[in-house]
Amino acid sequence: MERIIGRGLTIIFFALIVFMGPPLLAQPEKIVLDLSKISGEITRPEVIFLHNRHMESDLSCKDCHHVYENGKNVLDESQLEEGNQGIHCSACHGRKSRLNLKEAYHHQCIGCHTKKKTGPRYCGECHIRNK
Give the chain's domains with CATH numbers. 27-126 (3.90.10.10)
Q: What is the pLDDT of residue 65?
A: 94
> Using an 8 Å Cβ cutoff, are 46 and 32 in contact?
yes
CA distances from 69 to 2, 39, 66 (A): 51, 27, 10
How crowded is the C-beta side of 21, counted as CA atoms within 13 Å?
Answer: 6
pTM of the prediction?
0.70
CA distances from 29 to 13, 25, 45, 55, 76 (A): 24, 9, 19, 10, 22
- The dihedral sign for the CA sequence 72, 76, 81, 87: negative
- pLDDT < 50: residue spans in the chain: 14, 16-18, 21-25
Rg (CA), the chain: 19
Q: What is the pLDDT of residue 114?
A: 93
- Could you give the CA distance from residue 12 to residue 6 in angstroms, rounded to a whole number? 10
